[in-house]
Amino acid sequence: MQIALSDEQRLVVATAKRVASEHLEPRAAHYDETATHPVESWKALWENGLLGMAVPRAYGGLGLEMLSYVMVVEALAQGCTNTAMTVHMHSVVQRYIDALATPEVKAWLYPEVVEEGRMFGSWGSEPGRRGGSGVVQTVLSRDGDGFVINGQKHFCTMAGGAYRYMVHCSMEGMEGPGSVTMAMVPRDAKGLKIMGEWNTLGMRGTVSPSVSFDGCRVQAKAVMGRPGLSERVGVGQGFGLGYAAVYLGAAERALEFFVEHSKTSRYAPDPEMLSHSLVVQRGVAEMTLALEGARGVLYDSASRWEEDADPIRRAILAARSKYLATQAALMVTSKALQLAGGRVAHRRYPLERIYRDVRTCTLMPPNAERSLEIVGRSELGLTDDLLVLRHSS
């Protein structure tokens, strides 16, 4: 899909590709093996201006619109799936700050990102809730001139690594989506406890264990927006759109590796390189077309993002993109591994790591079944019945 980009857009995407190649990919295997935060990769993003890509320009960021943004995330994922996913979640938090916070709070938080290179996480998932749906059980209560948080979250990406965390809470005394309130919690807050280990199939560098809050106190200014507003600003749906970009970027790198492997590998008794095999040629065509189709829908959705901030319509755009990107990425990584054979299953090659990462991160909400439900209801004119998913990490 050919997209007409401005010189500024081309430059930021080119910067992302360079950073992914020079800084992210050389470290990706280490962060996967050790299941540790990609702190050096985050630093490289900050030094190249990409940590503030969703921070408004008035506060020193790039202020990227959604099309440029997903292209950057896609490029970063070609270097390291984990780094791309964490910076995407960080960036959605920056968009929440823009939509919910007062100018005073923006002037407080944004310099931490732009000037100090701080990472922000987003914690919404809970053990008793499925895919971000259902009642938020973590409760935010008034306490003197501030608030306290009590509850438990899981899949808390960047726990212990990010500087602040946007915690999705229910305001005490209120029920339903109208109670949901975002609170910014510093990582050294008393009452915040990281629990358990993070030892997973893939996405090991996202470091996402469970976290409990026991009388965790936050300042009044750290609570952003009135209860329920975060559900109406159309920001949370951007999680799914960025996930799609991560999936496609990772799968693109897998296909690139397989193509180069096919051009340079020959196994007896075949006299030609693998690339001369009709099976390989058909496989490459199938993988290429799947990625091109999914990318076209993602770019189209991103191009339409700023037209309408309605949460339901954005949920539909995100569901279309995430479903197609999920299916394409799963197929590409699986087929590339199958066609390349057992030799590339060794951990010295990137393909097995990308395969594990894609198989893991495509489980994030809304999953494939929920995405199809959203699209199906839209096509059948049942959008009034759609519950807008809160796409939280």
Q: Is residue 276 located within the same domain as residue 330?
A: yes
Q: Is residue 380 located within the same domain as residue 256?
A: yes
Q: Is residue 163 located within the same domain as residue 64?
A: no
**CATH number, residue 159:** 2.40.110.10
Among residues 55, 90, 119, which one ends one of the domains?
119
Q: Is residue 32 located within the same domain as residue 170?
A: no
232 within domain boundaries: no
Predicted confidence at residue 132, as pLDDT, reads 61
57 within domain boundaries: yes
46 within domain boundaries: yes
Predicted confidence at residue 387, as pLDDT, reads 54
160 within domain boundaries: yes
130 within domain boundaries: yes
Place of tokens 């630093």: 43
Close Cβ partners of 268 (under 8 Å, ≥ 6 residues apart)? none
Q: Is residue 191 located within the same domain as residue 73?
A: no
Q: Is residue 248 located within the same domain as residue 353?
A: yes
Q: Is residue 103 located within the same domain as residue 147?
A: no
Q: Is residue 148 located within the same domain as residue 247?
A: no
Predicted confidence at residue 389, as pLDDT, reads 40
d(C-alpha 13, C-alpha 4), whole Å: 13
Among residues 76, 93, 119, which one ends one of the domains?
119
12 within domain boundaries: yes
Give the DSSP per-residue string, 133-199: -S----EEEEETTEEEEEEEE-S-TTTTTSSEEEEEEEETT--SGGGEEEEEEETT-TTEEEES---
Q: Is residue 362 located within the same domain as residue 284?
A: yes
Q: Is residue 342 located within the same domain as residue 265?
A: yes
Range of the domain at 318: 238-385
**CATH number, residue 253:** 1.20.140.10
142 within domain boundaries: yes
Among residues 91, 119, 147, which one ends one of the domains?
119
Q: Is residue 37 located within the same domain as residue 115?
A: yes
How many domains does the structure of the chain reveal? 3
Q: Is residue 264 located within the same domain as residue 381?
A: yes
Predicted confidence at residue 130, as pLDDT, reads 73
d(C-alpha 311, C-alpha 325), whole Å: 21
* Contact present, 16 and 24 (Cβ < 8 Å): no
pLDDT in tens, the chain (393 residues): 568 889 999 999 999 999 999 999 999 999 999 999 999 999 999 999 999 999 999 999 999 999 999 999 999 999 999 999 999 999 999 999 999 999 999 999 999 999 999 999 999 999 988 766 678 999 999 999 999 999 999 999 999 999 999 999 999 999 888 999 999 999 999 999 999 899 999 999 999 999 999 999 999 999 999 999 999 999 999 999 999 999 999 999 999 999 999 999 999 999 999 999 999 999 999 999 999 999 999 999 999 999 988 999 999 999 999 999 999 999 999 999 999 999 899 999 999 999 999 999 999 999 999 999 999 999 999 987 675 444 333
Predicted confidence at residue 3, as pLDDT, reads 80
68 within domain boundaries: yes
Q: What is the largest CA-CA distance in the chain?
A: 79
Predicted confidence at residue 383, as pLDDT, reads 82
- 165 Ramachandran zone, left/alpha/beta (phi>0; psi -120 to 50): beta
**CATH number, residue 36:** 1.10.540.10
